[in-house]
Amino acid sequence: MTDHQHALTAAQRRAVRQLLRISPVADELAERFAAAGHQLALVGGSVRDALLDRLGQDLDFTTSALPKETKRLLTGWAENVWDVGQAFGTIGAKKSGFHIEITTYRSENYDRASRKPDVAFGETIEEDLVRRDFTINAMAVKLPGREFVDPHGGLADLGRRIIRTPGTPEASFSDDPLRMMRAARFAAQLGFDVAPEVVQAMTDMTDRLDIVSAERIRDELSKLVLATEPTRGLRLLVDTGLADRMLPELPALRLEIDEHHRHKDVYEHSLTVLNQAIELENRLPDGGPDLVTRLAALLHDIGKPKTRRFEPDGGVSFHHHDVVGAKLVRKRLTALRYPSAVVNSVAKLTELHLRFHGYRGGQWTDSAVRRYARDAGDLLARLHVLTRSDCTTRNPKKADALRRSYDDLEKRIERLEQEEELAAIRPDLDGNAIMRILGTGPGPVVGRAYRHMLEVRMDRGPLSEEDAKAELLTWWSEQPEATTPEQ
């Protein structure tokens, strides 16, 4: 028996095990549809994941029933039913811990000028499967009889670990151009190769991506970045030219490197930083995968192309690429319709990613350490991961020195956290105390005084009430609008 045959046999055994696990829910559902004269089948990603032994609690079905009939059959059986996808033929439900989506047999395609698919309902499961994106997602199991349907060789492609389209890739990508990004995403999620003819079509049809909405591109990019091997998918997006249409800052990192001006390959460096960040995600409070950390790792150096300067001594500089990069991150992620919380966090990490390199073997004062932690705020754990990941030197001594230096910084932050509750650091005098001491009411002066006292707190640590009052009065005596304060 060939390795390929062994792989298929093992996959089939895994699928049987998974189908037995979900059979109480799946069989009940199938019986309801059969009694009403309709067909039902487990389909697409659910069948693929069952064959890969990774089927979770999300179950996808396809049916001959129209959406209104599907909703009627689910009502009274499922714990919850929702119809937000009804216009596209999909009804959702929750039952016994499973998230269920049932879609009427359909076919869909894009008008060349449209961002939304035109949906037409089909009459057979074969018609439904041929419209699906890839052969590994074009398999079904008819229920309740459990007849395996695989008209396009998806099981064989699963065994060969290859991504192909049921029909021609040109026709598939013309129907829905987002499928080109999905090919890269599945490569990243599953570790599969993309068939040469599919790669060629992706390269030839990059302009078709322009009709896809930013929100759909964002969601697909996020799934890719959160995948097991995101760099596999990202390389495919760059190599085919798709990244030029939706994330042009990434291919722009492939800077020319000549024999006179030596510097790291910024593109390869960024992919390496992403891989190293993934390895360190277990340091984050919630573990991984973490979208903000991964986006920051990927994009932290996108300011370098705009700031590159060739120096007289033959070197290359990228002055202020952290600041420029933060602005570019904010612009790109906003254009992709990422939530403001994600945009702000990734931009902030990009802006801060060089800060550690001024540490110089532990020479920072406690004041500088406090500022480092305060400026990072709730992004501190992510900044730790990003900064550690940003070390890609091949020099073992240099790498070890950087690691030990950052270990020391983290220990100092931890010590100050314990001593001073650093994360919640505040001035020794609040606004009410400032107004009472200065004998003034609310206004800009109080805000300026508060900021001054915060800087004092960062520089000198906690002060006694008497010392804090003296510091405030000294500051106030130097202000042009000073009046006689409370004695």
Q: Residue range 445-464: average pLDDT?
A: 80
The predicted-structure confidence for 99-123, as pLDDT tens digits, reads as follows 999 999 987 555 555 656 667 788 8
Residue 334 has pLDDT above 60, yes or no: yes
Among the ranges given (70-79, 274-283, 453-462), the one the predictor scored with the smallest mean pLDDT: 453-462
Global pTM reads: 0.80
Angle between helices 291-299 and 380-389 (to 10 degrees): 40
Give the pLDDT score at 420: 61
Q: Which is nearest to 160 in space by CA: 51, 233, 240?
A: 51
Give the pLDDT score at 261: 44
Residue 69 has pLDDT above 90, yes or no: yes
Q: Residue range 324-349: average pLDDT?
A: 96
Give the pLDDT score at 233: 98
Does residue 396 or residue 97 have the better pLDDT?
97
Give the pLDDT score at 362: 65
* Three-class secondary structure assignment of 146-199: CEEECCCCHHHHHHHCEECCCCCHHHHHHHCCHHHHHHHHHHHHHCCEECHHHH
Give the pLDDT score at 258: 45
Residue 250 has pLDDT above 90, yes or no: yes
DSSP state of 96: T
CA dihedral 223, 226, 227, 228 (to 10 degrees): 180
Between CA 268 and CA 277 the distance in angstroms is: 14
The length of the chain in residues reads 487
Q: How confident is the model at residue 476 (pLDDT cuts 50, 70, 90)?
A: confident
Give the pLDDT score at 315: 74
At 241, is the secondary structure helix, strand, or coil?
A: coil
Give the pLDDT score at 62: 96
The predicted-structure confidence for 156-210, as pLDDT tens digits, reads as follows 999 999 999 999 999 999 989 999 999 999 999 999 999 999 999 999 999 999 9
Give the pLDDT score at 296: 97
CB 274 within 8 A of CB 294: yes
Give the pLDDT score at 406: 87
Q: How confident is the model at residue 239 (pLDDT cuts 50, 70, 90)?
A: very high
